Amino acid sequence: MPAKKHQMFLLQIQLRNSITIPYKLAKFEKIYLPNLKTSLSYKIYETKSQLPENWDNLGCENIFLSSAYFEILEKSAPINMSCHYIGLFKEQELVGIAISQFLDLNKLESFGDRDRCVKASVRKFVLKNFASHVLLIGNNMLTGQNSFVFSDAISSVEGIKTLKKATNDLKAKFKLMGKKVHITTFKDYSQKDVENFASDAFSKNYKYSVQPNMTFPIRDEWRTEQDYIDSLTKKYRDQYKRARKKAEGIEKRKLHLEDIIRYEETIYDLYHHVAQNAPFNTFFLTKNHFRIFKETLKDKFLFYGYFIDGNLIGFNTLIKNGDTIDTYFLGYDDTVQREKMLYLNMLYDMIAYSINKGFKEIIFARTALEIKSSVGAIPMKMYGFMEHSNKQINKHVPKIFPKLEPEVAWQERNPFK
């Protein structure tokens, strides 16, 4: 090859590796980035209708990465959240799928009103002024690794590095909209997953850990709720009996779509009361969220209402995700919850259902760590990776972040013999 043509060829390679070329930039529907080293490219989608037809070949592995779930987000995501879906390709083959969410914390009515201490006030000030625009790979409405699924055709390291590149294009998109991303984060990974982030792409990221994910493994020998009860020590069998005794007079009903629509106002009030009194929130659900969930996922979404004298005083929700049950949002009348030990009874009901239906695990997520531990849930430490767009602030994130994280004092329990 002549020297001049050779130099031009090298220049083309350099350009392809350093420049991201947006496709249909005005709408920012898709982005395609060739990468000669890994042979991976990616496309970013804004809607379910844009997804490749074979998306659910991988999406079937996690319901929260399925096209059906994305439809729910399009119809009822929190008002301060924008979602994008990322497809990874090896040549023309779809080899990875992921979800990204952008949070605009300036649109929140509040961050949660339970804590009114100085630390909480400082946290709200810092978030509003220096971290109000957050871009994450993952799902801020859930706990656990619901970020991505990769096929066996690529390694997790390859896939994650490519997703990191995709965040640069997403940041460019929001900048065009006048929204500068302050923080970019990948969230909720186990210790084993963390190994896949050990690359130069994450060298300036702060590895953080917040409250653990409370998981409940279901033992093979448990066939009925009674098997679970029999495995408890006397202290926790007595707790179970006391809770069930307190719940006398409460009627539990499985609600169908027409019921959810009928009680929508009350459902939202019960949910909002619990959410508003949480120590910290980055979003609030829309009023139609549970209705859309039921319309879309049908029998994979379970909604249970708790009634006294015909009045709805609490509810909980479950999602079937393969052989796992994910607990979702709930709500209750606080005065009834205390008197009737309603929350604890809900936990027992979730365990009973999951055992009876042959599921392998329950994801109880975060919050209420000690009471979940008292029924047998186990804490799983989760990690995330965070980078601030301001280089000077980013240097100090390891010192700043731990001081802003809400403190949760709790004692782990072991209720089993």
Question: What is the pLDDT, as a whole number, of residue 401?
Answer: 84
Residue 167 has pLDDT above 70, yes or no: yes
Three-class secondary structure of residue 184 per DSSP: strand
pLDDT digits (tens, 9 = 90+) for 84-120: 999 999 999 999 999 999 999 988 865 444 455 555 5
Distance CA 210, CA 203 (A): 20
Q: State both tokens at 51.
A: 């997804």
Q: What are phi and psi of 329, to 5 degrees?
A: -80, 155
Question: Whole-number mean pLDDT of the chain?
Answer: 88
Distance CA 321, CA 325 (A): 6
Residue 126 has pLDDT above 70, yes or no: no
What DSSP letter does each residue of 261-325 carry, written as one string? Answer: HHTHHHHHHHHHHHHHTSS--S----TTHHHHHHHHHGGGEEEEEEEETTEEEEEEEEEEETTEE
pLDDT digits (tens, 9 = 90+) for 222-232: 999 999 999 99
Distance CA 4, CA 243 (A): 82
Considering only CA atoms, which of 56, 117, 107, 115 is closest in space to residue 85? 56
* Cβ atoms of 324 and 295 closer than 8 Å: no
Question: What is the pLDDT, as a whole number, of residue 22?
Answer: 38
When pLDDT is cut at 50, 70 and 90, the band that residue 280 belongs to is confident
* Weakest mean pLDDT among 85-99, 284-298, 376-390, 397-411: 397-411
Distance CA 244, CA 384 (A): 38
Strands (E), 309-408: 311-321, 324-332, 361-365, 378-380, 383-388
* Weakest mean pLDDT among 124-128, 283-287, 358-362: 124-128
3-state helix, strand, coil in the chain (%, to 5): 40, 25, 35
Residue 123 has pLDDT above 90, yes or no: no
Question: What is the pLDDT, as a whole number, of residue 128?
Answer: 57
Check residues 4 and 218 and name the one with the higher pLDDT: 218
pLDDT digits (tens, 9 = 90+) for 51-83: 999 999 999 999 999 999 999 999 999 999 999
When pLDDT is cut at 50, 70 and 90, the band that residue 21 belongs to is very low
* Cβ atoms of 283 and 78 closer than 8 Å: yes
Question: What is the pLDDT, as a whole number, of residue 25?
Answer: 36
Question: What is the pLDDT, as a whole number, of residue 411?
Answer: 95
In this structure, which amino acid lies at residue 368?
A
When pLDDT is cut at 50, 70 and 90, the band that residue 210 belongs to is confident
Confirm whether pTM is higher than 0.85: yes
Question: What is the pLDDT, as a whole number, of residue 120?
Answer: 54
* Cβ atoms of 76 and 292 closer than 8 Å: yes
Residue 36 has pLDDT above 90, yes or no: no
Check residues 35 and 216 and name the one with the higher pLDDT: 216
Could you tell me which residues are beta bridge partners of residue 385? 186, 207
Q: What percent of the chain has pLDDT over 90?
A: 78
When pLDDT is cut at 50, 70 and 90, the band that residue 130 belongs to is low
* Cβ atoms of 137 and 99 closer than 8 Å: yes
Cβ count within 10 A of residue 231: 16
Cα-based torsion angle of the residue sequence 363, 365, 369, 375 in order, rounded to the nearest 10 degrees: -20
Strands (E), 81-212: 81-90, 93-104, 133-137, 148-150, 183-189, 206-208
In this structure, which amino acid lies at residue 213?
N
Q: What are phi and psi of 395, to 5 degrees?
A: -65, -30
Q: State both tokens at 348.
A: 């027992």
The radius of gyration of the chain's CA atoms, rounded to the nearest angstrom, is: 23
What 8-state DSSP symbol labels residue 407?
Answer: P
Residue 279 has pLDDT above 80, yes or no: no
Residue 27 has pLDDT above 60, yes or no: no
Residue 133 has pLDDT above 50, yes or no: yes
* Cβ atoms of 44 and 31 closer than 8 Å: yes
What 8-state DSSP symbol labels residue 205?
Answer: P
Could you tell me which residues are beta bridge partners of residue 363? 215, 326
Distance CA 139, CA 145 (A): 8
Q: State both tokens at 306.
A: 């708790």
Question: What is the pLDDT, as a whole number, of residue 117?
Answer: 55
- 268: alpha, beta or left? (left if phi > 0; alpha if psi -120 to 50): alpha
Distance CA 93, CA 141 (A): 30
Alpha helices in 48-179 (DSSP H): 56-59, 67-76, 118-130, 156-176
